[in-house]
Chain A
Amino acid sequence: MPGITRYGYRDAISGFFEFPTENARSVLPRGFEPVEVHHGTSILAVTVFDFNESEVGEYGEVVYAVIVPPLVRDTRLPKSAFFPWQVATTTKAAREHAIERWHLPHWMNDVKVDFQREKGKTTAKVEADGAPALELVVTDHSWQPVSHLYQSFQKDDSGTYLANILFEGEKSEHEEEAGKIVLHENAFNKDIQISEVFETPFRELWMRNGCQLFDPLAQIEGK
Chain B
Amino acid sequence: MEAAQKTSNEKPVFSEYDYSNFYYGAGDDPLNLLRPYADWYREARPAGYYLYMEALETAPTTRVRVKDGKTGQVRDLLNLASYNYLGISYRPEVKQAAHDAIEHYGLGASGSPILSGTFDVHEQFQQELARFKDKEAVVLFPTGYSANVGFISALMRSGDTIFLDQYSHASIVDGAILAKSKTVFFRHNNPLDLERKLTGVKGKKLVVVEGVYSMDGDICVLPEILEVAKRHGARILIDEAHSTFLFGPNGRGVAEHFGVDKEVDFHLGTFSKSLGGQGGFVAGSKELCDYVIAFARSRFFSCNLSPVLTAGLLAGLRIAQSEPQLRTKLWSNCAFLRRRFAEEGVDIGKSNSQVMPVMVNHDSRVLQVAEKIQERGLFLNPVTYPAVPKHKSRLRISVSAAHTESELEGAVQTIAGVLREEGICRA
Contact = CB atoms under 8 A, between A and B. Distances in A.
Interface of A: 3-4, 18, 35, 38-41, 69-72, 74-77, 79-80, 141, 147-149, 164-166, 173-176, 202-203, 213-216, 218, 222
Interface of B: 1-4, 6-8, 10-12, 16-17, 21, 24-28, 32-33, 36, 40, 164, 166, 173, 176-177, 182-185, 385, 389-392
A202 B11 CA distance: 29
Given A72-B25, A175-B389, A215 B3 contact: yes
B359 to A, nearest CB: 13
Contacts of B390: 173-175, 203
Contacts of B21: 77, 79-80
A175 B40 CA distance: 24
A36 B17 CA distance: 18
A147 to B, nearest CB: 7
B176 A166 contact: no
Contact of A38 (B7, B24, B25, B166): B166
B260 to A, nearest CB: 27
Contacts of B16: 79, 148
Given A72-B33, A76-B8, A214-B3, 16 more contacts: A4-B2, A39-B183, A41-B183, A69-B25, A70-B24, A72-B32, A72-B36, A74-B8, A79-B16, A147-B10, A149-B7, A164-B1, A166-B7, A173-B390, A175-B392, A222-B28
A106 to B, nearest CB: 23
A57 to B, nearest CB: 22
Contacts of B32: 72
Contacts of A214: 3
Given A72-B26, A173-B390, A203-B390, A215 B1 contact: yes
A166 B391 contact: no
A220 to B, nearest CB: 9
Nearest to B1: A215
Nearest to B11: A76
A39 B7 contact: no
A164 B4 contact: yes
Nearest to B21: A77
A174 B8 contact: no
A203 B173 CA distance: 21
A48 to B, nearest CB: 21
A166 B389 contact: no
A80 to B, nearest CB: 8
Given A166-B7, A215-B4, A70 B389 contact: no
Contacts of A39: 173, 176-177, 183
A69 B385 CA distance: 18
13 contacts: A69-B25, A70-B24, A72-B27, A72-B36, A76-B7, A76-B12, A79-B17, A80-B21, A166-B3, A174-B390, A175-B391, A215-B1, A216-B1
B388 to A, nearest CB: 9
Contacts of B36: 72, 77
A75 B39 CA distance: 12
A78 B4 CA distance: 10
B239 to A, nearest CB: 17
A76 B184 CA distance: 35
B122 to A, nearest CB: 33
A168 B2 CA distance: 15
Contacts of B183: 38-41
A213 B3 CA distance: 7
B26 A69 contact: yes
Contact of B3 (A141, A164, A176): A164
A215 B21 CA distance: 22
Contacts of A216: 1
Contacts of A3: 2
A18 B186 CA distance: 11
The 4 closest A-B pairs by CB, nearest first: A69-B24, A175-B389, A75-B8, A76-B7
Contacts of A75: 4, 7-8
B2 A215 contact: yes
